[in-house]
């Protein structure tokens, strides 16, 4: 072995023959490389301290080593990860110029792609959806990180940037050109992938590490052929012609119940399934007493066994085979189960249960879906398999695991694990579907009353079908989308990544969102086969059974984002895909990102009808979002390191933020104002930036507004850096339409934004505005005190009462919309008459005066809330609480913030990121962050 100075060759045709370089070392061949790192990992696993690393899975050293292929994949925290980044990454250079605008991702792209479908996971973002984003933010050789990698699509996307076929490149380039983007720099990026679940990281390893497809395909077929020789008899059936022997595709099993009237047996499939319509009847007669029954009335019947693996007494719901679907040659038949079939089943029952079958006990009391399993008698993993399926699956797994070549073995196990759910009792018979492959209910452990027990060949390799799992897999990986040394994967907690600070170029991530999916629980079954299980304590989810509420979720997410912030280079970007419609979870994510040090620059949602992105302007989320945020540059961070604020620092922040947010949003002919550039949004961001760093806000709202106008040119209600404004003006003149932002009016804050938008374009009277305003009010939040339109107008806008010259805002509207009012003097009586009684948006200087008056009124209301002796205040004016909290923050009166918060409804606070930001930080200041 000799050391090697150069970085690794990442060309896709690195065929693993001859000397290989890895982490700065050169080895004779892959085998030598593996032996070297395997020995290091084995030694490391002996160290008890190593096992204390957060997120370390539960499993023996042997099981962890069997799954791993170090240094590129370890089924535990990866001791080589830091070396990988140091060896192949580009060190951070402050002087390097890096400028990018936020980039939106269309997560719906690529869902039909073969590679995407080659291995399922509970939720997936297709690699083809991620590729454009990686191309936009990085250059070849850069390091991309995904700490919640799941099936590892980010790694595949990073590699695809180098291996994408010509047609793909041409299409992307022409789309980008049409949208006004420069063409990307093609070439492989390196990826660092992490997931808490060994099942997930193992899928990621299969997707991202190279293997020889022909060797894999030959071996997979050989295994299934051997299986045929060894266990084929279990799936043989006598055809109805009395002569031919058929091969079972699947057997449909029925749950057996008893009748509540006569206690007679009810075979659910026989009685409830309508063979003609293939639908389950909502009611059916009892075959014994004729009573009309439905599923809810049936009583569960149990059968007692001796558990073949534990030798303990075991009671499970009664199941009976109903009919079989089989093939004779290429013809498919279906018939009820007969004596000859029962004989085969009895013969299988006589065999001893496969001794290597996983028997792990489900952590029922800590599982969200535990109550679906245990009452039916499924408390251990092997309980979910009928004996025949258990023999077949164990044999496949054994044969796959016995393969000596590591890469081939990995893929064979990868292939075999896709049959685990589908061959278990979780697979429901789906009579209206053509295929019975993998018909289990996604995201839940549910054993139905109509079960399909598929044969291994039916699920994995149907030689007659090119659509079989194996053919698809071979198709998907030809040509190989991966090459050596581009991706490193570990199993661990995203909150503790063994990567040097400031070393990652870009993060793409799709974290768990609240309580949608219980990954650790769901991975338990597959992980029991590997013998390595998720350390679920660190799992960032909301799960009442694991005692994790919204607060715990937020803390876990904050820890993960803090780690993301630490490892990312300053000035670089993170893209977060958000797919949950809970406002509370959305708020928790924003809070976690801000507290971690990120600044959100853009939030968009895909407008499915238009096929384009729209900015998200309210805190109510209904659809999938894409959040783009950046880590502030080193020079900006330095200004805040001493823990004190200054107006210079605040303006430096605004400048950096304006530098990073999009100049315009939308396509070249239809643009939308960039929300992030509006005064209100900039003010909110500036305040949050300070509060999240635990320092006072150096500018009042009025000072901010005045300063903004003095420092930055304004267009269409948005502020720009001087060098951006010419670019905006140019694009604005070529765009045919300036689209309005859509506001969802549910509180005073959004009402003000909505009115501003109406009056900006068209100053109007109270009478004109009111009916439109009433229409918008349909979704007013319950806890939000009603604020009259009149009050909102008086506190935020100006009224022209006909005295003095017509204000320029009204003048320009009237003269450009009414021919006869054109070119009139501002004091012309005709113009005054038409302008009288209209409300309009003040210019920024007047706005500052108004804000001052409004703030005084709001603080007065806050005082009332503060003094209120009510223990719980159900309805209040959120704007008053915001203004009050801000004032308290400035005066370091953290106690009042916490005290007032205690009177407000928890559910409301959970959804209001502005209020929670103050409360969280005030609690931290008071040393009460429990
Ligand atoms: C939404 S999924 C990611 C799916 C992925 N985008 C894909 O395409 O397959 C979120 C993942 O986060 C993992 N996870 C949850 N908590 C974690 C933590 N603290 N650290 C790392 N991973 C975690 C879960 O195991 C799950 O695989």
- Give per-residue pLDDT as tens, 853-871: 888 889 999 999 999 888 8
Instruction: Evaluate whether 390 touches 357 at the Cβ level (below 8 Å).
Output: yes
- In sequence order, which residues have a C-beta less than 8 Å from that of residue 49 and are 6 or more positions away? none
Average pLDDT in the chain:
89
Q: Phi/psi at 391 (nearest 5 deg)?
A: -65, -45
* Both tokens assigned to 212: 């020889």
- Quick: pLDDT tens for 413-468: 999 999 999 999 999 999 999 889 889 998 899 999 999 999 999 998 765 555 67
Q: How far is the CA of 468 from the centre of ligand 1 (A)?
A: 28
Six-digit token string for 165: 């076929």
DSSP state letters, 110-155 = TTT-HHHHTS--SS---HHHHHHHHHHH--TT-EEEETT-TTTHHH
pLDDT attached to residue 610: 58
Q: Which two tokens stand for residue 322?
A: 């109903």
Flag whether pLDDT at 399 surpasses 90: yes
The average pLDDT across 521-530 equals: 97
pLDDT for res 743:
66
Q: Is the pLDDT of residue 718 over 80?
A: yes
Q: Give, using CA atoms, the residue closest to atom 15 of ligand 1.
A: 539
Which residue from 53, 193, 512, 532 has its CB within 8 A of the most atoms of ligand 1, so it is best to mutate? 512
pLDDT surpassing 80 at residue 644: no
| Alpha helices, DSSP H, located in 286-369 | 339-350
Model confidence over 793-820: pLDDT tens digits?
Answer: 998 899 999 988 999 889 999 998 999 9
Is the minimum distance from the CB of 904 to ligand 1 under 6 angstroms?
no
User: Mind spelling out the 3-state secondary structure of 479-539?
Assistant: CCCCCCCCEEEEECCCCCCCCCCCCEEEEEECCCCCCCCCHHHHHHHHHHHHCEECCHHHC
Taking the C-alpha atoms of residue 449 and residue 250, their distance in angstroms, rounded to an integer, is 16
How many angstroms separate the alpha carbon of residue 204 from the centre of ligand 1? 11
For residue 650, how far is its CA from the centre of ligand 1 (angstroms)?
36
CA–centroid distance, residue 124 to ligand 1 (Å): 10
d(CA 927, CA 888): 17
**Pocket of ligand 1 contains residue 510 by CB under 6 Å:** yes
Q: How far is the CA of 631 from the centre of ligand 1 (A)?
A: 22
Q: How far is CA 72 from the centre of its chain?
A: 24
Cβ within 8 Å of residue 874, ≥6 positions away: 783, 905
pLDDT tens for each residue of 149-202: 999 999 999 999 999 999 999 999 999 998 888 999 999 999 999 999 999 999
Distance from the alpha carbon of residue 477 to the mean position of ligand 1, in angstroms: 24
Q: Which residue puts its alpha carbon closest to atom 5 of ligand 1?
A: 150
Mutate to test the pocket of ligand 1, among 78, 192, 195, 626 (most ligand atoms within 8 A of CB): 195
Q: How far is CA 795 from CA 781, 856, 926, in A?
A: 21, 10, 34
In the structure encoding, which two tokens stand for residue 471, read together? 């053919």
Q: With bands split at pLDDT 50, 70 and 90, how would you rate the model's confidence at 7? A: very low
Q: Please tell me whether residue 194 adopts helix, strand or coil conformation.
A: strand
Q: Is 512 in the pocket of ligand 1 (CB under 6 A)?
A: yes
In this structure, the residue with its CA closest to atom 7 of ligand 1 is 124
In this predicted structure, what is the pLDDT of residue 466? 52
Nearest atom within ligand 1 for CA of residue 121: 9
* 871-912 residue pLDDT tens: 888 889 999 999 999 999 988 999 999 999 999 988 888 778
Q: Name the residue at shortest CA distance from atom 24 of ligand 1.
A: 519
Report CA Rg, the chain: 32
Q: Is the pLDDT of residue 2 over 70?
A: no
H-helix or E-strand containing 312? none
Query: 784-792 contacts: CB < 8 A, separation 24 or more?
Result: 784/746, 784/747, 784/748, 784/875, 784/876, 784/877, 784/878, 785/875, 785/876, 785/877, 787/748, 787/751, 787/877, 787/879, 789/755, 790/766, 792/748, 792/751, 792/752, 792/755
Mean pLDDT check: name the lowest of 4-8, 301-305, 396-400, 487-491.
4-8
The answer on pLDDT for 71 being more than 80 is yes
Write the DSSP assignment of 15-35 as a string of letters: -S-S-EEETTEEESSHHHHHH
Ligand 1 atom showing the smallest separation from residue 540 Cα: 16
Q: Which residues contact 688 (CB under 8 A, 6 or more apart)?
A: 594, 914, 917
- Residues 45-65 have a mean pLDDT of 97
| Phi-psi domain of 110 (left: phi exceeds 0; alpha: psi -120 through 50; beta: other) | left
pLDDT band at residue 473, thresholds of 50, 70 and 90? confident
pLDDT at 930: 38
The residue nearest atom 12 of ligand 1, judged by CA position, is 148
Would you say the C-alpha torsion 401, 405, 406, 409 has a positive or negative sign?
negative
Measured from the CB, is residue 416 less than 6 Å from ligand 1? no
- CB-CB contact of 466 with 486 (8 Å): no
The confidence score (pLDDT) of residue 742 equals: 65
Instruction: In whole angstroms, give the CA distance from residue 84 to residue 71.
Output: 8
Confidence of residue 614 (pLDDT cuts 50, 70, 90): low
148 pocket-lining for ligand 1 (C-beta < 6 Å): yes
Provide the 10 A C-beta neighbour count for residue 716: 14
Is the preceding omega at residue 71 within 30 degrees of 0, hence cis?
yes
pLDDT at 608: 57
* Beta pairing, strands 58-59 & 299-300: unpaired
535 touches ligand 1 (CB under 6 Å): no
Ligand 1 binding pocket mutation candidate from 145, 156, 196 (most atoms within 8 A of CB): 196
Verify whether ligand 1 is closer than 6 Å to residue 518 (CB atom). Answer: no
Residue 852 has pLDDT above 60, yes or no: yes
* DSSP state letters, 845-863: HHHHHHHHHHHHHHHHHHH
Q: If you take atom 26 of ligand 1, which residue's CA is the nearest one?
A: 150
The order of strands in the sheet holding 625-630 is: 487-491, 190-195, 143-146, 504-509, 568-578, 625-630, 599-607, 612-615
pLDDT in tens, 577-598: 987 667 778 888 888 999 999 9
Pick the more confident residue, 471 or 559. Answer: 559
Q: Given the CA of residue 126, which atom of ligand 1 is nearest to it?
A: 8
Mean pLDDT, rounded, for 123-147:
96
Comparing 449-453, 459-463, 560-564, 722-726, which segment has the lowest mean pLDDT? 459-463
pLDDT computed for residue 462 by the predictor: 62
Does the CB atom of residue 661 touch ligand 1 within 6 A? no
Report whether residue 578 contacts ligand 1, using a CB cutoff of 6 Å.
no
The per-residue pLDDT for 481 is 85
Running DSSP on this structure, what letter comes out for residue 273?
A: B
Ligand 1 center from residue 564 Cα (angstroms): 14
Q: What is the pLDDT of residue 598?
A: 96
**Whether residue 543 has its Cβ less than 6 Å from ligand 1:** no
Q: Give the distance (Å) from ligand 1 centre to CA of residue 615.
A: 26
Q: Is there a cis peptide before residue 673, judged by omega within 30 degrees of 0?
A: no
CA 794 to chain centre: 43
Ligand 1 centroid–CA 145 distance in Å is 13
Give the residue from 6, 36, 58 showing the smallest Cα distance to 537. 58
Question: Is 703's pLDDT higher than 70?
Answer: yes
Kindly give the distance from the C-alpha atom of residue 660 to the centroid of ligand 1, in angstroms, as a whole number: 28
In 3D, which of 827, 767, 817 has the Cα closest to residue 793? 767
Q: What whole-number distance in Å separates Cα of residue 122 and Cα of residue 519?
A: 8
What is the 159 CA–ligand 1 centroid distance (Å)? 20
Indicate if the pLDDT at residue 638 is higher than 90: no
In 138-212, where does DSSP find H-type helix?
153-163, 166-178, 198-208
CA dihedral of 904, 908, 913, 915, whole degrees rounded to 10: -20
Question: What distance in angstroms lies between residue 154's CA and the mean position of ligand 1's atoms?
Answer: 12
- For residue 421, how far is its CA from the centre of ligand 1 (angstroms)? 20
């Amino acid at each position: 072995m000799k050391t090697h100075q150069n970085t690794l060759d990442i060309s896709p045709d690195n065929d693993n023959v001859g000397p290989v370089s890895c982490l700065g070392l050169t080895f004779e061949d892959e085998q030598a490389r593996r032996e070297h790192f395997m020995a290091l990992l084995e030694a490391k696993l002996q160290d008890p301290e190593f096992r204390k690393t957060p997120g370390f899975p539960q499993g023996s050293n042997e099981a962890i080593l069997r799954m791993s292929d170090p240094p590129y994949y370890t089924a535990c925290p990866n001791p080589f990860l830091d070396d990988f980044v140091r060896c192949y990454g580009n060190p951070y250079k402050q002087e390097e110029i890096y400028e990018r605008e936020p980039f939106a991702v269309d997560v719906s792209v690529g869902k039909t792609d073969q590679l995407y479908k080659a291995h399922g996971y509970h939720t997936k973002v297709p690699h083809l959806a991620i590729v454009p984003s990686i191309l936009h933010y990085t250059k070849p050789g850069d390091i991309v990180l995904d700490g919640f990698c799941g099936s590892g699509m980010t790694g595949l996307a990073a590699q695809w940037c180098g291996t994408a076929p010509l047609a793909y490149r041409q299409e992307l380039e022409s789309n980008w050109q049409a949208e006004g983007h420069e063409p990307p720099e093609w070439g492989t990026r390196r990826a660092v992938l992490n997931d808490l679940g060994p099942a997930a990281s193992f899928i990621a390893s299969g997707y991202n590490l190279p293997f020889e497809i022909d060797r894999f395909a030959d071996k997979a077929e050989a295994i299934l052929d051997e299986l045929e020789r060894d266990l084929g008899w279990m799936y043989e059936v006598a055809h109805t012609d009395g002569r031919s022997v058929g091969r079972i595709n699947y057997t449909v099993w029925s749950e057996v119940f008893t009748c509540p009237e006569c206690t007679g047996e009810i075979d659910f499939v026989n009685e409830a399934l309508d063979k003609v319509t293939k639908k389950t009847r909502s009611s059916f007669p009892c075959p014994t007493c004729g009573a009309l029954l439905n599923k809810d009335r049936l009583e569960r019947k149990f059968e007692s066994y001796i558990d073949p693996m534990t030798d303990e007494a075991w009671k499970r719901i009664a199941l009976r085979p109903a009919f079989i679907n089989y093939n004779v040659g290429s013809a498919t038949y279906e018939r009820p189960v007969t004596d000859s079939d029962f004989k085969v089943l009895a013969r299988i029952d006589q065999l001893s249960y496969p001794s290597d079958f996983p028997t792990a006990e489900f952590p029922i009391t800590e599982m969200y879906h535990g109550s679906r399993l245990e009452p039916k008698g499924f408390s251990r993993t092997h309980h979910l398999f009928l004996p025949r399926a258990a023999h077949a699956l164990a044999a496949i797994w054994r044969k796959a695991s016995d393969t000596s070549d590591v890469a081939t073995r990995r893929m064979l196990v990868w292939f075999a694990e896709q049959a685990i759910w589908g061959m278990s009792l979780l697979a429901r018979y789906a009579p209206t579907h053509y295929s019975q492959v993998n018909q289990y209910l996604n995201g839940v452990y549910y054993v139905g009353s109509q079960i399909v027990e598929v044969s291994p060949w039916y699920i994995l390799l149907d030689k007659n079908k090119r659509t079989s799992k194996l053919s698809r897999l071979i198709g998907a990986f030809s040509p190989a989308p991966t090459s050596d040394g581009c991706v490193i994967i570990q199993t661990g907690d995203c909150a503790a990544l063994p990567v040097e600070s400031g070393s990652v170029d870009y993060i793409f991530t799709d974290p768990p969102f609240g309580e949608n999916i219980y990954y650790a629980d769901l991975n338990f079954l597959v992980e029991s086969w590997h013998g390595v299980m998720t350390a679920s304590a660190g799992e960032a989810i909301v799960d009442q059974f694991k005692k994790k509420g919204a607060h715990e979720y937020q803390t876990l997410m904050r820890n993960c984002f803090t780690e993301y912030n630490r490892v990312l280079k300053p000035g670089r970007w993170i893209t977060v895909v958000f797919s949950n419609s809970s406002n509370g979870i959305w708020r928790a994510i924003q809070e976690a990102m801000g507290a971690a040090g990120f600044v959100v620059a853009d939030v968009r949602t895909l407008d499915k009808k238009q096929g384009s992105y729209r900015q998200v302007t309210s805190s109510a989320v209904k659809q999938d979002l894409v959040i783009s945020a950046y880590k502030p540059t080193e020079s900006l961070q330095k200004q805040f390191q001493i823990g004190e604020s200054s107006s210079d620092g605040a303006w430096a922040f605004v400048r950096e933020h304006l530098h990073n947010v999009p100049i315009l949003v939308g396509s070249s002919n239809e643009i939308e104002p960039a929300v992030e550039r509006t005064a209100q949004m900039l003010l909110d961001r500036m305040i949050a930036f300070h509060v999240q760093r635990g320092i006072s806000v150096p500018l009042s709202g009025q000072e901010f507004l005045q300063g903004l106008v003095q420092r930055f040119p304004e267009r269409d209600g948005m502020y720009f850096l001087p060098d951006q404004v010419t670019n905006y003006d140019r694009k604005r003149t070529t765009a045919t339409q300036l689209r309005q932002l859509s506001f969802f009016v549910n509180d005073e804050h959004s009402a003000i934004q909505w009115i501003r938008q109406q009056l900006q374009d068209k100053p109007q009277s109270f009478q004109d505005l009111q009916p439109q305003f009433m229409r918008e009010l349909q979704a007013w939040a319950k806890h939000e005190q009603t604020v009259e339109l009149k009050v909102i107008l008086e506190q935020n806008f100006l009224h022209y009462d006909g005295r003095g010259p017509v204000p320029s805002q009204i003048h320009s509207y009237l003269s450009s919309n009414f021919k006869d009012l054109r070119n009139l003097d501002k004091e012309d009586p005709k113009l005054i008459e038409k302008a009288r009684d209209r409300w309009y948006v003040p210019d920024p200087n007047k706005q500052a005066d108004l804000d001052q008056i409004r703030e005084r009124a709001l603080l007065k209301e806050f005082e009332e809330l503060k003094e209120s002796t009510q223990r719980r205040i159900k309805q209040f004016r959120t704007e008053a609480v915001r203004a009050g909290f801000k004032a308290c923050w400035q005066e370091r009166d953290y106690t009042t913030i916490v005290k007032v918060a205690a009177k407000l409804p928890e559910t409301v606070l959970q959804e209001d990121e502005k209020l929670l930001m103050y409360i969280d930080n005030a609690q931290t200041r008071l040393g009460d962050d429990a």
